[in-house]
Amino acid sequence: MEKIKCPICGTIIDDDPYGEPCPFCAWVYTGTEECYAPDEKDDFNLKSRDEVKALLNAGKNKWGNPLPKK
């Protein structure tokens, strides 16, 4: 399986749509990120990329929990 960068935090993850969430930010790669505007909610992740990036900048993952150590 190929590896890609998480579209939210850049952590290397498997290129496996709907696979395991990113271990750092909890975003689930769907392979459809480019179909949504950055401020548009993703039906699978339930938040927009902009919302999750703002949480990431605040030291939190997609669910608002503290980020793990990288």
Residue 3: helix, strand or coil by DSSP? Answer: strand
Whether pLDDT at 70 is above 80 = no
Whether pLDDT at 3 is above 80 = yes
Mind listing the pLDDT tens digit for each residue in 10-66?
999 999 988 899 999 999 999 999 999 999 998 899 999 999 999 999 999 999 999
Give the pLDDT score at 39. Answer: 97
Burial 8-30 (b: 16+ CB within 10 A, else e): bbeeebeeeeeeebbebbbbbbb
User: Which tokens hold the place of 19?
Assistant: 């696979």
- Structure pTM? 0.90
